[in-house]
């Protein structure tokens, strides 16, 4: 069974750093891209960026370039999303999602989400 | 502002056929597969339709997808109360070099 399991709820202060994780299981982790998707409270879905776990190549949406860093550890079958300095506007639900068999595709499996609250 | 355009809401009574539209451009829907996702309240999105009109195993056959040019639609025949959810269309965008989404349609079953 394919599963993406994300790290838990986070409550942080503005200016703090954070890394959240997404662990894949039930499939060959290096064979499928992983993306991160943001959902602001009560809003739609926004693609942030993706990683190819086989070589750690990443690309980002222009809206998130420079604001976050995506990385991966294929030995742990885990992808990460990192902020160096959080802002209140980063308060949202964050999902990791696995791309389908074709690289230029959308997502077939999703993590359960990580809720981030940034508040002073 | 989402790249793909969906109506914000749709509704139907139990048993009715409901359709949700989604329009894009030549760089996304016009040249790549369309996907549809269902997001029940408080849960992660779930794949409903992939490659324009394919259903993953476990998705009821009352859900169907179609695509024509730069537009796509999701149809739910015989809508049920448990279908109340937000529905999102998505497609790879060749300009962005990543997936783009519609803003979502909230389905209400009256």
- Position B44 scores a pLDDT of 98
Count of pairs with CB atoms under 8 A, one residue in A, one in B = 64
Minimal Cβ distance to A44: which of B33, B94, B104: B104
Cβ distance of B98 and A95 shorter than 8 Å: no
In this complex, which of A47, A62, A109 lies closest to B99 when CB atoms are compared? A47
In which band, very low, low, confident or very high, does the pLDDT at A101 lie, cut at 50, 70 and 90? confident
Rounded to an integer, the average pLDDT of A63-83 is 98
Task: Residue A46: name the closest of A37, A34, A59, A33 by CA.
Answer: A37
Question: Could you tell me if residue B78 is left (phi over 0), alpha (psi between -120 and 50 degrees) or otherwise beta?
Answer: left
The reply to whether residue A106 touches residue B92, judged by beta carbons under 8 angstroms, is yes
> Using a CB-CB distance cutoff of 8 angstroms, which residues of chain B are in contact with residue A6?
none
Calculate what percentage of chain B has a pLDDT beyond 70. Answer: 100
pLDDT at B23: 98
Separation between Cα atoms, residue A34 and residue A52, nearest integer Å: 7
- Nearest CA of chain A to the CA of B102: how many Å? 8
pLDDT band at A2 (very low <50, low <70, confident <90, very high): very high
**Average pLDDT score over residue span A85-108:** 94
CB atoms within 10 A of CB A83: 18
Please tell me the distance in Å from A84's CA to the nearest CA on chain B. Answer: 24
Residue ranges, chain B, pLDDT below 70: none
Could you say which of A44, A47, A107 has the minimum Cβ distance to residue B103?
A44
Over the range A51-69, which residues count as b (16 or more CB within 10 Å of their CB) and which as e? bbbeeeeeebbeebeebbe
> How confident is the model at residue A102, as a pLDDT?
82
| Predicted confidence (pLDDT) per residue in B29-46, tens digit | 999 999 999 999 999 999
For an interface test with B, the pick among A44, A61, A101 (most B C-beta atoms closer than 10 Å) comes out as A44
Looking at chain A, which residue has its C-alpha nearest residue B44? Answer: A112
* A99, pLDDT greater than 80: yes
pLDDT higher than threshold 90 for residue A55: yes
Q: Regarding predicted confidence, which is higher, A102 or A56?
A: A56
User: Given B92, B102, B103, which is nearest A105 (Cβ)?
Assistant: B92
pLDDT of residue B89: 98
Question: What pLDDT is attached to residue B48?
Answer: 97
H/E stretch holding A49 reads: strand A45-52
Of A59, A100, A113, which is closest to B98 when you measure between CB atoms?
A: A59
Distance from CA of B94 to the nearest CA of A (A): 9
> What are the residues whose beta carbons fall under 8 Å from the beta carbon of A103, sequence distance 6 or more?
A33
Chain B residues whose beta carbon lies within 8 Å of the beta carbon of residue A64: none
Q: What is the pLDDT of residue A103?
A: 74
| Cβ neighbour number for residue A48 with a 10 Å cutoff | 21
Q: Which residues contact A91 (CB under 8 A, 6 or more apart)?
A: A40, A41, A116, A117, A118, A119
DSSP, res A57: E
Alpha helices in A49-114 (DSSP H): none
């Amino acid at each position: 069974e394919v599963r993406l399991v994300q790290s838990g709820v986070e409550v942080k202060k503005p200016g703090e750093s954070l890394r959240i994780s997404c662990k894949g299981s039930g499939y060959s982790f290096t064979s499928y891209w992983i993306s991160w998707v943001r959902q602001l409270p009560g809003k739609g879905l926004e693609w942030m960026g993706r990683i190819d776990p086989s070589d750690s190549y990443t690309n980002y949406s222009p809206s998130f370039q420079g604001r976050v860093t995506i990385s991966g550890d294929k030995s742990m079958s885990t992808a990460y999303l990192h902020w160096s300095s959080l802002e209140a506007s980063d308060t949202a639900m964050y999902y990791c999602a696995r791309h389908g068999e074709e690289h230029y595709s959308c997502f077939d499996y999703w993590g359960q989400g990580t809720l981030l609250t940034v508040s002073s | 502002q989402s790249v793909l355009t969906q109506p914000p809401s749709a509704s139907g009574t139990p048993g009715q056929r409901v359709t949700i539209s989604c329009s894009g451009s030549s760089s996304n829907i016009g040249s790549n597969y369309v996907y549809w996702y269902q997001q029940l309240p408080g849960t992660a999105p779930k794949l409903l339709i992939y490659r324009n009109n394919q259903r993953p195993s476990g998705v009821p056959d009352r859900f169907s997808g179609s695509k024509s040019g730069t537009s796509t639609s999701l149809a739910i025949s015989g809508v049920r109360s448990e279908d109340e959810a937000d529905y999102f269309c998505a497609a790879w965008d060749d300009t962005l070099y990543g997936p783009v989404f519609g803003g979502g349609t909230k389905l209400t079953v009256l």
